[in-house]
């Protein structure tokens, strides 16, 4: 077996025994997860179960207290890792969009290309414009985020991640802050990404979307995985009582 | 719409009317400058009387030109009344405080203007240095965020905000020679003002940095920017907008505080004015000095008021 096919076989993201303490509170209690290249994994669980914290450990926006994260087989949770490099390769989309209000939409998307990828400004802006076209916002490049609707802002945030040509994108409840009529335009973009083979980890409770787009569903409760499996199986035949309760509650 | 056009009686207009009327009812003058005052008072009363009955939109108040005009008339009337009823030695007052002859003596105005230039230099040097210092402290405090370092920065801020500038100036000026450090009065003044202003500006910038939501930093870091890049490209540009009004107010205070450097013999406006005062045995240089400060500070305060009106809401 050659080295190349070896890396191909590696999962894109692997989490091994992740623990996280905030002061005295034990928020993540040993979480394992394996997400293959091109796979879409969904994280579900009630508020406070540790979904955001776990997601943030995957690109070390939050430092795990214990355990390892591997990206394409490389451990990124040790001291020698260049975290900025890792983060440039793993996109992240937040519930509150978190665009930069003092920049135009195009500048928002080009920022990482210019200062992290070190691309010349003109080339970065071209790439950024392409990314914005992919999320259907080619006409809004010169606007400021505040001039856009929530759904449009969230699509800019997705374009900002996309422009970096990431290996994977992490989504933390990307539609929870949106008015209902804007949820679909964002989910639509995410579904296209999934079909194009983007590796994604998505915290979401949009059952319809997950059913179509997610390959694997991981159910968290109090910082632990209570159930995991193919999306349809977990949704239709949940094995664990906590999962059943949760699914009843959100339906 | 119609109902909004109710009668508005701007206070300056009413005061103008009352003061003018009072002035005219008291015995009118018969000669000299008094006649000019009487004419002004008559016109003022007439104008005020007319405009008191002009309906204006309540939320807009009187038009700006009318407000300015009535304020000016009020000023003139108040001055006239003061001269009429205060039992002053006007000749002596004019000689001592508004003496054109004294100021036209050779070198007098030139020295005053060089004082202005030096004051502006003290201001600019302290401004640039304290801005750098305050920005540096605030940024380091936010990024490094180390308990010991924070303690030192906070101690610096607390100490230098608690010392009156004039005391620090005198202490530094008299203590430095014994420490073997040789600094000109100018440099000493700039250093002392910078230390004090830097402490305030550290607080100003710190509050600006903290006003930017943590999510902005998270989002910047998640695309791979370093902590310094996130600060420079994402946080500071937003913070600066927020703190601009506070910052500009400090700036005005700093310009005024340059006067205190006169105590360590820096030849700025106040020092020159006092020197000329004792040389000529006349206080006119002080009045001219006050005017020079106003020439610099009027535009600055106007500018800051405009900034404050456009302060971004968060
Ligand atoms: N920065 C933090 N400091 C202290 N506690 C935190 C912090 N972030 C999250 N927590 C706590 O960790 C737990 C899990 O939070 P989170 O991961 O945000 O859950 P979820 O995203 O599933 O709602 C919660 O109890 C929350 O209060
Ligand atoms: Mg969350």
Q: What is the pLDDT of residues B173-226, one digit of tens each?
A: 999 889 888 889 999 999 999 999 999 999 999 999 999 999 999 999 999 999
Domain boundary among B55, B87, B119: B87
User: Which candidate, B246, B229, B33, places its Cα nearest to that of B134?
Assistant: B246
- Asked if residue A131 belongs to a domain, the reply is no
- pLDDT category of residue A102 using cuts at 50, 70 and 90: very high
- Residues of B whose CB is below 8 A from A89: 224
Based on the fold, state whether residues B142 and B76 are members of the same structural domain.
Answer: no
Based on the fold, state whether residues B115 and B242 are members of the same structural domain.
Answer: yes
Ligand with smallest separation from the Cα of A25? 1
Taken in order A129, A132, A136, A140, the sign of the CA dihedral is negative
Based on the fold, state whether residues B80 and B219 are members of the same structural domain.
Answer: no
- Asked if residue A31 belongs to a domain, the reply is yes
Based on the fold, state whether residues B121 and B31 are members of the same structural domain.
Answer: no
Instruction: Name B96's Cβ contacts closer than 8 Å, sequence gap at least 6.
Output: B282, B283, B284
Based on the fold, state whether residues B235 and B292 are members of the same structural domain.
Answer: yes
- Could you tell me which chain A residue has the CA closest to the CA of B216? A98
Interface touch A98/B215, C-beta < 8 Å? yes
Which residues constitute the domain of residue A58? 1-84+199-251
Residue ranges of chain A whose CB lies within 8 Å of a chain B CB? 59, 61, 84-89, 91-92, 94, 96, 98-102, 111-112, 115-116, 160-161, 164
Domain with A77 in it: what CATH number?
A: 3.40.50.300
Q: Which of A96, A98, A116 sits opposite B224 (nearest CB)?
A: A116
ipTM of the complex: 0.92
Q: What is the pLDDT of residues A23-45, one digit of tens each?
A: 999 999 999 999 999 999 999 99
Residue A79 has pLDDT above 80, yes or no: yes
Distances (CA, A) of B199 to B134, B160, B207: 6, 6, 13
- Contact status, residue A109 vs residue A163, Cβ threshold 8 Å: yes
- Asked if residue A32 belongs to a domain, the reply is yes
- Could you tell me which chain B residue has the CA closest to the CA of A170? B222
Alpha-carbon span B194 to B201, nearest angstrom: 10
Total residue count of chain B as it appears in this document: 314
- Asked if residue B94 belongs to a domain, the reply is no
Q: Which pTM value belongs to this model? A: 0.83
Report whether residue A108 contacts ligand 1, using a CB cutoff of 6 Å. no
Alpha-carbon span A219 to A234, nearest angstrom: 9
- Contact status, residue A48 vs residue B184, Cβ threshold 8 Å: no
- Contact status, residue A134 vs residue A162, Cβ threshold 8 Å: yes
Based on the fold, state whether residues B35 and B159 are members of the same structural domain.
Answer: no
- Chains A & B: contacts with CB separation below 8 Å: 57
Q: What is the pLDDT of residues A109-124, one digit of tens each?
A: 999 999 999 999 999 9
What pLDDT shows up at residue B80? 73
Alpha-carbon span A28 to A39, nearest angstrom: 23
> Tokens in use for B89?
């030695």
What pLDDT shows up at residue A250? 87
Phi/psi zone of residue A167: left (φ > 0), alpha (ψ -120 to 50 degrees), beta? Answer: alpha
Q: What is the pLDDT of residues A199-238, one digit of tens each?
A: 999 999 999 999 999 999 999 999 999 999 999 999 999 9
Domain boundary among B36, B57, B87: B87
Exposed (0-12), middle (13-18) or buried (19+): which is A6, by Cβ within 10 Å? Answer: exposed
> Tokens in use for B185?
């009065």
Which residues constitute the domain of residue B32? 2-87
Residue A2 has pLDDT above 60, yes or no: no
What pLDDT shows up at residue A9? 65
Q: Which of B215, B224, B241 sits opposite A94 (nearest CB)?
A: B215
- Asked if residue B77 belongs to a domain, the reply is yes
Q: Find the mean pLDDT for residues A128-136.
A: 96
Based on the fold, state whether residues B264 and B206 are members of the same structural domain.
Answer: yes
What pLDDT shows up at residue A4? 44
Based on the fold, state whether residues B283 and B195 are members of the same structural domain.
Answer: yes
Q: Average pLDDT, whole number, for chain A?
A: 94
Based on the fold, state whether residues B158 and B283 are members of the same structural domain.
Answer: yes
Q: Find the mean pLDDT for residues A118-140.
A: 96
Q: Which residues of chain B have pLDDT under 50?
A: 1-3, 6, 313-314
Domain boundary among B64, B87, B110: B87
Q: Percent helix, strand, coil in chain B (nearest 5)?
A: 80, 0, 20
Distances (CA, A) of B50 to A128, B45, B80: 64, 9, 22
- Asked if residue B97 belongs to a domain, the reply is no
Q: Which of B219, B225, B237 sits opposite A102 (nearest CB)?
A: B237
CA distance A232 to chain B (A): 31
Pocket test for ligand 1, best of A31, A44, A50 (most atoms within 8 A of CB): A50
Number of domains in chain B: 2
> Tokens in use for A32?
């394992």
Exposed (0-12), middle (13-18) or buried (19+): which is B175, by Cβ within 10 Å? Answer: exposed
Can you give the C-alpha Rg of chain B in angstroms?
27
Domain with B109 in it: what CATH number?
A: 1.10.3720.10
E-strand ranges in chain A read 13-22, 25-35, 40-44, 66-71, 74-75, 90-93, 168-172, 199-203, 216-221, 224-230
Alpha-helical regions (H) of A103-220: 105-115, 121-134, 150-162, 180-195, 207-213
Alpha-carbon span A219 to A223, nearest angstrom: 10
Based on the fold, state whether residues B49 and B108 are members of the same structural domain.
Answer: no
Interface touch B215/A96, C-beta < 8 Å? yes
């Amino acid at each position: 077996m050659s080295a190349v096919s070896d890396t191909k076989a590696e999962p894109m993201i692997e989490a091994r025994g992740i623990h996280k303490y905030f002061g005295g509170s034990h928020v993540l209690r040993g979480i394992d997860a394996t997400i293959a290249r091109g796979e879409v994994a969904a994280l579900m669980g009630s508020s406070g179960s540790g979904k955001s914290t776990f997601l943030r450990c995957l690109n070390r926006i939050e430092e795990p207290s214990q355990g390892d994260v591997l990206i394409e087989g490389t451990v990124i949770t040790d001291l020698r890792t260049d975290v900025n490099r890792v983060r440039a390769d793993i996109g992240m989309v937040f519930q509150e969009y978190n665009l930069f209000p003092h920049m135009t939409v195009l500048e928002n998307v080009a920022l990482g290309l210019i200062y992290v990828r070190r691309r010349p400004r003109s080339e970065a802006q071209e790439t950024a414009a392409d990314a914005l076209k992919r999320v259907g916002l080619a006409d809004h490049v010169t606007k400021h985020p505040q001039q856009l609707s929530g759904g449009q802002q969230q699509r800019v945030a997705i374009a900002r991640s996309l422009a970096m040509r990431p290996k994977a994108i992490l989504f933390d409840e990307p539609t929870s802050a949106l008015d209902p009529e804007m949820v679909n335009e964002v989910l639509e973009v995410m579904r296209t990404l999934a079909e194009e083979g983007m590796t994604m980890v998505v915290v979401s409770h949009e059952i319809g979307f997950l059913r179509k787009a997610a390959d694997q569903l991981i159910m968290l409760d109090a910082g632990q995985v209570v159930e995991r499996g193919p999306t349809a199986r977990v949704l239709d035949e949940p094995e664990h009582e906590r999962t059943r309760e949760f699914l009843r509650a959100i339906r | 719409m119609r109902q909004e056009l109710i009668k508005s009686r701007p206070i300056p207009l009413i005061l103008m009317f009352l003061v003018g009327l009072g002035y005219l009812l008291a015995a009118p003058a018969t000669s000299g400058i008094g006649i000019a005052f009487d004419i002004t008072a008559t016109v003022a009363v007439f104008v005020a009387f007319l405009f008191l009955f002009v309906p204006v939109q309540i939320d807009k108040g009187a038009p700006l030109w009318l407000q300015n005009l009535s304020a000016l008339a009020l000023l003139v009337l108040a001055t006239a009344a003061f001269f009429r009823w205060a039992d002053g030695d006007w000749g002596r007052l004019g000689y001592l405080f508004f003496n054109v002859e004294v100021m036209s003596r050779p070198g007098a105005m030139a020295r005053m203007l060089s004082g202005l230039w030096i004051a502006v230099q003290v201001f600019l040097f302290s401004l640039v240095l304290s801005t750098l210092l305050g920005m540096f402290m605030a940024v380091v405090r936010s990024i490094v965020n180390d308990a010991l370092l924070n303690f030192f920065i906070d101690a610096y801020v607390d100490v230098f905000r608690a010392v009156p500038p004039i005391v620090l100036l005198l202490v530094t000026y008299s203590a430095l020679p014994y420490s073997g450090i040789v600094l000109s009065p100018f440099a000493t003044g700039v250093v002392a003002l910078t230390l004090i202003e830097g402490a305030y500006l550290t607080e100003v910038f710190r509050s600006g940095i903290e006003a930017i939501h943590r999510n902005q930093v998270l989002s910047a870091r998640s695309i791979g920017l370093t902590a310094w890049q996130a600060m420079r490209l994402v946080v500071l540009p937003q913070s600066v907008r927020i703190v601009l009004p506070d910052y500009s107010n400090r700036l005005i205070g700093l310009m005024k505080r340059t006067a205190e450097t006169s105590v360590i013999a820096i030849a700025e406006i106040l020092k020159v004015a006092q020197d000329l005062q004792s040389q000529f045995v006349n206080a006119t240089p002080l009045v001219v000095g006050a005017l020079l400060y106003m020439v610099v500070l009027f535009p600055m305060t106007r500018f800051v008021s405009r900034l404050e009106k456009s302060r971004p809401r968060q």
